[in-house]
Structure 1
């Protein structure tokens, strides 16, 4: 399972596309550590109060603890969605071997009416919030408590922390630097726990790649080339040799699946499709993966 900033989405989607069994960012993009921890604790606990953190804006109901994409015109529907997400996440955490947490920023927005740090302001007027740099000791106590509860809930769960390489320069360049430093120290403190490790996605971006050509046009997000590079480092560091062997074979088939022929009815292309189905079935047997969707997609292109 992955949770956290948009980099958690990137890693999660790549794992999913590589046939790993993974739940990807179930609550949408969440940037600050307090909000990530609150959602994890809410998922494994039966005591939930997320219905207290709803707000209606321009006729749409939002949850301060979730991403804006998880919203609804109907309050009860949103509450049902939240309950379902928490239950699904609880089940995933019960079964998971690995939880990847990606932290984006140590800047938090505190809702004045409740005093709580929110995950998302949902474009509600800024006068309703106080922006603050969250103190390291507060984040450390909160994360320690969360990790402790997770390990009691699932003793076999390993946690991999990362600091997102995405730059939060809307908070200013100076604050982004301080924020990333706080997150990096927080992760370092957490790795004293034997079940917690750290993957240096942030360091790979700023110290290894170290060039603005690896940022997109917004100068904030890594390019696809940078993501490929970081993903390869992740694969080499954490995936088993068997998984890496599978990825090499799977990548060849993925390229075959993306092939767009000029003449779909030609004898050569039809033979190519049948060969690809055979390769998928062989891969499925060898690595115990589900290739039914890919096989069905190709079968629909066959001319009987």
Structure 2
């Protein structure tokens, strides 16, 4: 029988994620969708402690900062409508003064430096190879923070520049069991569709070079799963740029199959089935049948706690029983 799609078959990762794994995830907005998959099973994941970062140079700068004690660059501060920000960070919280911003960044960096020492897995999610360089400092910025456009110069990175930047930070990653690169399938059409393809190609070549040079670095093909495996606009949101829930479910299930150990994978599938069984149940916290089914689900979830942490799902179900 003919097949109607080119399914991407992934090799299993030799280093497996289990219930006790400590994971740090850095990168673009797509990383938050990947992270939510891990978080729902109660895994210990630190996600984008310095905000969402889309280009590899800024990402590697943050990794370098986590691995060593370095002075923060005060020349990269910027103010817009009374709100202070730093060009190398993407904080959403308003900072009313330079001093407040610098103190908050320093405090966050110190906490994350200690956290970073304990990490076993590092996920690096790349979004674009286009960067904005601050003309005065000559440094690549993570976020322009609505500063005047004439302060920056836009440029396209090369695979060699990205590879060289990774080589520079690699010695600080010797405690990490597994480094996992992900190329975001979200389209950046502000650069036009054609230049988005150029940008993604640069990133993909750079990742390929990094994986070939460093054997403990792996690549999870979220981009190819979306673009070449699913390959249909019905797997996108209405903006036609971002993967929809169905695509995310497919992509993350592929990640779980490749990276979870057998016990965590089996428990995660059981948890999914338990929660799925409640989806067709009419919501009525006053109904005895509803309360019984939810309590049954909670009991089953508690039975999985040797292999994953179901507390988040249990708390959500208990919250449903308490609603009027």
Task: For residue 41 of structure 1, give the secondary structure of its aligned residue in structure 2.
Answer: helix
Aligned to 2:131: 108
Distance in 1 separating the partners of 2:214 and 2:157: 22
Shift of 1:50: 4.0
Task: Say if 1:228 and 1:273 are closer, same or farther in 2 by CA, change over 3 A.
Answer: closer
Task: Say if 1:291 and 1:256 are closer, same or farther in 2 by CA, change over 3 A.
Answer: farther
- Matched-pair contact (CA < 8 Å) for 1:2–1:8: yes
Deviations 1:242-296 (A, max 9, x none): 1111111222343467787554233333333433342233222x32636278359
Distance in 2 separating the partners of 1:189 and 1:292: 39
Shift of 1:89: 2.5
Normalising by the residue count of structure 1, what TM-score does the alignment of the two structures yield? 0.89
Normalized per residue, the structure richer in helix is 1
- Matched-pair contact (CA < 8 Å) for 2:236–2:243: yes
Matched, 1:251 2:293: no
Matched, 1:200 2:209: no
Distance in 2 separating the partners of 1:258 and 1:89: 38
Aligned to 1:126: 149
Matched, 1:185 2:205: yes
Deviations 1:130-171 (A, max 9, x none): 0111232222111111122222xx2x4310011111111111
Distance in 1 separating the partners of 2:110 and 2:35: 19
Aligned to 1:171: 191
Distance in 2 separating the partners of 1:256 and 1:124: 50
Distance in 2 separating the partners of 1:111 and 1:74: 21
Instruction: Figure out how many residues of one structure are paired with residues of the other and give that number.
Output: 299
- Matched-pair contact (CA < 8 Å) for 1:57–1:124: yes
Matched, 1:24 2:44: no
Distance in 2 separating the partners of 1:72 and 1:35: 21
Shift of 1:22: 0.6
- Matched-pair contact (CA < 8 Å) for 2:27–2:59: yes
Aligned to 2:95: 72
Aligned to 1:209: 230
Distance in 2 separating the partners of 1:160 and 1:262: 40
Distance in 2 separating the partners of 1:236 and 1:45: 34
Normalising by the residue count of structure 2, what TM-score does the alignment of the two structures yield? 0.84
Distance in 1 separating the partners of 2:194 and 2:288: 62
Task: For residue 272 of structure 1, give the secondary structure of its aligned residue in structure 2.
Answer: helix
Aligned to 1:280: 301
Shift of 1:57: 0.9
Q: Which runs of 5+ in 2 are unaligned?
A: 1-23
Alignment of 1:90-105 (within 5 A): 90-105=113-128
Matched, 1:294 2:293: no
Shift of 1:128: 1.1
Distance in 1 separating the partners of 2:308 and 2:259: 20
**Cα root mean square deviation, aligned:** 2.4
Aligned to 1:266: 287
Task: Say if 1:10 and 1:295 are closer, same or farther in 2 by CA, change over 3 A.
Answer: closer
- Matched-pair contact (CA < 8 Å) for 1:163–1:201: yes
Task: For residue 136 of structure 2, give the secondary structure of its aligned residue in structure 1.
Answer: coil
- Matched-pair contact (CA < 8 Å) for 1:13–1:24: no
Structure possessing the higher relative contact order (Cα contacts under 8 Å, 6 or more residues apart): 2
- Matched-pair contact (CA < 8 Å) for 1:162–1:199: yes
Q: Which runs of 5+ in 1 are unaligned?
A: none
Shift of 1:30: 0.5
Distance in 2 separating the partners of 1:128 and 1:65: 14
Task: For residue 114 of structure 2, give the secondary structure of its aligned residue in structure 1.
Answer: helix
- Matched-pair contact (CA < 8 Å) for 2:131–2:154: yes
Distance in 2 separating the partners of 1:289 and 1:88: 24
Alignment of 1:222-241 (within 5 A): 222-241=243-262
